[in-house]
Amino acid sequence: MYRIGDKTNMIVKTITIKNPHGLHARPAAELSKLSGTFESDIKLSKDGIDVNAKSVMGVMMLAAEYGSSIVIQISGSDENEAMDALIQLNENLFNEQI
């Protein structure tokens, strides 16, 4: 994780999607639901596409398959907790039984 400049007060981390089925509808919903529990602004980026992580449709637009890289950008009062939770969700394969 690193912080972009002093003015933006944002943390950024690149993760690799670990779910063998990628970030399809159900994992996208899990990610959006979890993101919605935080006050911080959470953005995801892949291949030049930036989306609001709190939008299921936005997350699905990324078409993130297994092994793809996603950049998480978070800014807000609970940004560290949000980043930790999203990283853990990816590590847990978005709570799917694989």
The pLDDT mean for the chain works out to: 92
Higher-pLDDT residue of 77 and 2 is 77
Task: Kindly indicate the confidence band of residue 2, based on its pLDDT and cuts at 50, 70 and 90.
Answer: very low
Give the start-end residues of each E strand in 5-95: 11-16, 41-46, 49-52, 69-75
Residues involved in catalysis: 24
What are the boundaries of each domain within the chain?
Answer: 2-93
DSSP character string of 11-29: EEEEEE---TT-S-HHHHH
Note the pTM of the prediction, 2 decimals: 0.89
User: What are the pLDDT digits (tens) for 49-94?
Assistant: 999 999 999 999 999 999 999 999 999 999 999 999 999 999 999 9
**pLDDT band at residue 9 using 50, 70 and 90 as cut-offs:** confident
What CATH code is assigned to 2-93? 3.30.1340.10
